[in-house]
A and B are shown apart, each in its own frame.
Chain A
Amino acid sequence: MILNIDPGIVDWSRAQFALTAIYHWLFVPLTLGLSFLVAIMETIYVKTGNPEWKRITKFWMTLFGINFAIGIATGIILEFEFGTNWSNYSWFVGDIFGAPLAIEGIMAFFLESTFIAVMFFGWNKVSKKFHLASSWLTAIGANLSALWILVANAWMQYPVGMKFNPETARMEMQNFWDVLFSPVAVHKFLHTISSGYVTAAIFILGISAWFLLKKRENGIALKSILVAAIFGLITSLFLAFTGDGSGYTVAQTQPMKLAAMEGLYKGQNANGLVLFGIPQPGKKAGDGKNNFILKVEIPGLLSLMGYRNVDAFVPGIEDILYGGYKPEFLNVPHVEKEKALPVSEKITRGKIAITAFGNFKNAKKAGDEVAATKADSAMKANFAYFGYGYLQSPEEAVPNVALTFYSFRIMVAFGFYFILFFIIVLYFYSKNKLQDKRWLQYVMLWTIPVVYLAGQAGWIVAEVGRQPWVIQDLLPTRAAVSMIETTSVQITFWLFAVLFTALLIAELMIMTRQIKLGPKDGGTK
């Protein structure tokens, strides 16, 4: 008997996960970047012995502490949700997901918790050098924590280094290094942490600009601006570089996501990158309508970025749905080496894999080893398409194109704006004119919300763009979700909305008050 899943439970569980992740990601990037900036500032203090740098360090360290204290443990809720709302997924992934998260827990506990205590309470109690080392180790610990979370996320986008065990219905890790160093994991980690560095640099520039606008603490503001702008320029260039790497891995591992990012329905050789465009509202695959109301594109650039070949063929949504093109991705299943299968065929193969998975256990129970071996072979032969067996129609494999398309453009456009922004700030700084440019000070202040918007847009691209998959090609959301009451998820959704909003308001109020008090009272009490 086939189980019908209430679409409401899938939608509410997804909404709850998105809400939690979005709020969590409001706190994390600042922690990742500000920890390094504080360590750099403290290094300058230790090197120069100038007490003003100590005041600067303590001021930004206090703001770091506020963000850290309010943001800490908001991510643990995601783990609660795995166990309650996504129990099939949690079981299915086995130790692949658990191992990186366990390492993250240990790293976070030992590095961050130990050294953050020294960082905040150790002034005048430990030597300058030991204190400085604690600040650096806090920063390294925070970033290593992010590494393991992002490795786990990357595995969901590009599952490698594992083998499915039909006896236990779980994935088993075969090669830890394949999981850790998968190209998706490497690029995702570097791109995500560098976005945190840019966020922190802009945060410091914005707050420092506020001091300049108020004509307070000019010396401290300008010193902070110099450090943050140099750090921001370097990391924003690195962000663009890792963004290119991420785009390449998306093309190689998640072609449907790339097609959605570009609003591309019919692929072609020497495909252009859409610089600006308005996708046709209501456009469906195969309806023959134009996919854009208007667009401006750079010829050949998408092929070059996705395949490192300006003439390469980039498949569109319809190509992927209906198959027939020659795929040139990483780890293409043998059967598709020459010609991509249509999604309808993948659905058929997925259903064969799922049926064989059931037959395997039944044969084992009955002690029929021949039947078990046959079922195991059938499952293995079609396992690459396992998740497609849960799709109701080929079109279900298409994510929300408009949301992915616009989010991608917001992220990229602001990413380039940040590079320009840091250059302009450094230019006026070098000309000693920053104090007089009130328009620029306002721009610096109001770039703070912009960098958060860009960061959230990046996550929307990564997570909405990979729908319907929880694990790429292997497990869609409708198979991963728990059979629980929709109302219970609705209740906790609103509980979280209230809790997180309260935390955000608390952060903004405490942070604003501390900024208004300024560096004089910015010591860590």
Chain B
Amino acid sequence: MAIGKKLWIIILIKLFILFFILRLFFFPDFLKSKFSNDKDRGDYVREQLIRRK
């Protein structure tokens, strides 16, 4: 197999694993998945920062 083709296959498999497996199933955006707007996200982080001292 030509080197170029081999590299394209590696790139596509890697991007599939990164974006369609890891990102979707293992790396949700924590704040976006829990809260629907920035105000709630800000309030949550504020609470966390205050209560962790």
Contact = CB atoms under 8 A, between A and B. Distances in A.
Interface of A: 1-3, 5, 62, 65-66, 69-70, 72-73, 76-77, 80-81, 83-85, 87-88, 90-92, 120, 168-170, 350-351, 354-355, 357-358, 361, 389-390, 478-479, 482-484, 488, 491-492, 495, 499, 503, 506, 510, 514, 524-525
Nearest to A503: B14
B15 A3 contact: no
A73 B15 contact: yes
B45 A87 contact: yes
Nearest to B34: A87
Q: Which of A84, A90, A355, A506 has the most CB of B within 10 A?
A: A84
Interface of B: 2-4, 6-8, 10-11, 14-15, 17-18, 22-23, 26-32, 38, 41-42, 45-46, 48-53
Given A66-B7, A76-B18, A3 B48 contact: yes
A170 B49 contact: no
B4 to A, nearest CB: 5
B50 to A, nearest CB: 4
A482 B11 contact: no
Contact of B10 (A70, A88, A491): A70
Contacts of B23: 80
Given A83-B30, A479-B49, A69 B10 contact: yes
B2 A88 contact: no
18 contacts: A62-B3, A65-B4, A69-B7, A69-B8, A69-B10, A70-B10, A73-B18, A77-B22, A80-B23, A81-B27, A83-B31, A90-B31, A92-B49, A168-B42, A354-B49, A357-B50, A492-B26, A524-B4
B42 A83 contact: no
Nearest to A521: B3
Nearest to A5: B52
A44 to B, nearest CB: 24
Rank and list the top 10 A-B pairs by shortest CB-CB distance, nearest first.
A87-B30, A80-B27, A69-B7, A83-B29, A358-B50, A3-B51, A91-B45, A354-B53, A525-B2, A169-B46
A350 B23 CA distance: 36
Contacts of A168: 38, 42
B28 A84 contact: yes
Contact of A483 (B8, B10, B48): B48
A64 to B, nearest CB: 11
Nearest to A352: B53
